[in-house]
Amino acid sequence: MLRNANSSAPLLRLYSIVFLFVLSGMAQAAYITVDEAGMDAIYAQTSFGNTPVDIRLGSAIEHVDPGLLTLDSATKWSALTSAHYGSATTVNFWFLDNITWCGNNFIFYVGCGETPGNDFVVESAYADSLFNAELLAHELGHNLGLPHNSGSNNLMDAFLNGGKDLSSTEVATIMSSPLVQFDNTGFFIEVLPVLVVAVATQVNAPAVSVLLLLGSFAVAYRRLRYGLKSGISGMSLAVR
């Protein structure tokens, strides 16, 4: 997916859940950011009728593997997806530092998802932006079987431009996915956020309060990147 050339880098942070860690005794803002309410709104828009789909976030998981901080090869992609957490109907949202491979090598990727599948990855820094819900919902759409769909208002457009619309045909594809489950409260998708780190983290209470303050003011600007290959779909920020 590409960012529209006319859109500016967002400074507003949308935090539904933020996990802050201390690495090697230094205060570093390694984090997961998910705008759960924003994603719920996308998967409950008018085209869903009376069958909205709830995005249910489980507890965040820390995956220790310094080699996966950058996704730059098919080998690393295989290693990441083979480490899947939870059942086959649980989607893993992987957050890492940098993506330069998604079916091919390209330096401007910021997201890559199986199409269909139950794993996708995003760059942690760019997920922490005003586009969070759109970015994550777009990659989740690939997991649910959706290809790119051109149109400035469309969620599955190849540009990250604020588009969030899903057609009735796309909703039918989503509702037929085995990832969409049902219980007495309605339809839902189970999600586990996974943070890739170089070393296991240790947190004490004072450090957390300081990091929360630092994280709320940190500005992250990364450009979206695009790529589409059989089986996986990438997202891009820069115009290409």
Of 132, 102, 110, 118, the C-alpha closest to 178 is 118
pLDDT score of 22: 33
Task: Average the pLDDT over 229-236 and give the result.
Answer: 55
Q: What is the pLDDT of residues 26-61, one digit of tens each?
A: 333 347 999 999 999 999 999 999 999 999 999 999
Q: What is the pLDDT of residue 161?
A: 85
The percentage of the chain sitting over the pLDDT mark of 90, rounded to a whole number, equals: 63
**Chain length of the chain:** 240
87 vs 9, residue with greater confidence: 87
pLDDT score of 4 more than 80: no
**Structure token digits, residue 50:** 């009376």
pLDDT in tens, 104-125: 999 888 899 999 999 999 999 8
CA 71/CA 119 separation, integer angstroms: 13
Sequence-ordered list of residues with C-beta below 8 angstroms from that of 12, at least 6 positions apart, any chain: 129, 130
Question: What is d(CA 26, CA 56) in angstroms, rounded to the nearest whole number?
Answer: 32
CA-CA distance, 149 to 174, in Å (whole number)?
Answer: 14
Going from the C-alpha of 152 to that of each of 4, 15, 127, 183, the distances in angstroms are 9, 25, 20, 34
Q: How many CB atoms lie within 10 A of CB 77?
A: 22
DSSP run (H or E) holding 224: strand 224-229
1 neighbors 236 (Cβ within 8 angstroms): yes
Minimal CA–CA distance to 200: which of 32, 77, 66? Answer: 66
State pTM to two decimals. 0.79
Sketch out the chain's domains with CATH numbers. 2-236 (3.40.390)
Q: How far apart are CA 108 and CA 39, in angstroms?
A: 24
What is the rounded distance in angstroms from the CA atom of residue 178 to the CA atom of residue 151?
27
Average pLDDT over residues 187-194: 98
The pLDDT of residue 207 is above 60: no
Q: Let me know: does 235 contact 109? Beta carbons within 8 Å.
A: yes
3-state DSSP assignment of residue 105: strand
What is the 3 state secondary structure string of 124-162? HHHHCCCCHHHHHHHHHHHHCCCCCCCCCCECCCCEECC
